[in-house]
């Protein structure tokens, strides 16, 4: 009799668990239907995830403090004042405000005039200018991007010589790249 009572208790407990399982299944169906109704009420997504990422990146860039262009020009001017024979032809910068340091990558195309045909002296003046740029505390990674002298062993020499009575003064062109970072207080 005791065994019959225990079996009946287990059977009742199993029936209760079975009823709870059915109730949970019904609740799950209701939640799924509710979820689907909410998802169906969302507007259609017209933008791809990549476009959303670009939008967030642009918003962060617009919210970031803008680099001080005057500081960059002052730093370049400081070095150029010491080298009056160097003329700035173009200045291009790539704003890196998304980086935590707020760096600006700068490309400079410049010319050296007067040029007397001595490329060794011209390279020394360009290197002196690069040293002056490196001495400015806010300028880093100063590199020669394009040289007036092609030192490639596979290239052939070509060019034109200028006499002392030539009306057109020759000019040497070169390019530099550098990084500007505002001084931190």
Residue 156 located in a structural domain: no
Q: Are residues 28 and 102 in the same domain?
A: no
Comparing C-alpha atoms, which of 179, 172, 161, 166 is closest to residue 87? Answer: 172
Q: Are residues 16 and 101 in the same domain?
A: no
Residue 60 located in a structural domain: no
Residue 6 located in a structural domain: yes
The answer to whether 103 and 96 are in contact (CB under 8 A) is yes
The number of domains in the chain is 2
Residue 115 located in a structural domain: yes
Q: What is the pLDDT of residue 34?
A: 93
Q: Are residues 96 and 11 in the same domain?
A: no
The parent domain of residue 2 ranges over 1-41
Q: Are residues 138 and 173 in the same domain?
A: yes
Residue 54 located in a structural domain: no
One pLDDT digit (tens) per residue for the chain, 185 residues: 788 888 888 898 999 999 999 999 999 999 999 999 998 888 877 777 788 888 888 888 777 666 677 878 888 888 888 888 888 999 988 765 555 566 788 899 999 888 887 888 888 999 999 999 998 888 889 999 888 776 666 656 555 555 555 556 678 899 999 888 876 65
> If 0-12 CB within 10 Å is exposed, 13-18 middle and 19+ buried, where does residue 95 land?
middle
90: helix, strand or coil = strand
Q: What is the pLDDT of residue 98?
A: 52
């Amino acid at each position: 009799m005791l065994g019959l009572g225990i079996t009946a208790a287990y059977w009742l407990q199993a029936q209760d668990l079975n009823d709870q399982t059915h109730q949970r299944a019904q609740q799950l169906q209701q939640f799924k239907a509710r979820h689907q109704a909410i998802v169906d009420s969302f507007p259609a997504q017209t933008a791809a995830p990549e476009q959303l990422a670009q939008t967030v990146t642009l918003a962060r860039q617009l919210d970031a403090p803008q680099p001080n262009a005057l500081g960059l020009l002052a730093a370049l001017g400081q070095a150029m004042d010491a080298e009056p024979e160097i003329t700035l032809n173009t200045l291009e910068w790539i704003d890196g405000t998304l980086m935590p340091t707020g760096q600006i990558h700068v490309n400079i195309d410049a010319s050296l005039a007067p040029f007397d045909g001595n490329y060794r002296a011209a390279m020394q003046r360009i290197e002196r200018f690069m040293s002056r740029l490196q001495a400015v505390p806010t300028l880093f990674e100063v590199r020669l991007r394009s040289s007036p002298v092609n030192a490639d062993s596979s290239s052939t020499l070509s060019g034109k010589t200028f006499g002392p009575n030539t009306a057109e003064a020759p000019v040497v062109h070169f390019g530099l790249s550098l990084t500007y970072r505002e001084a931190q207080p």
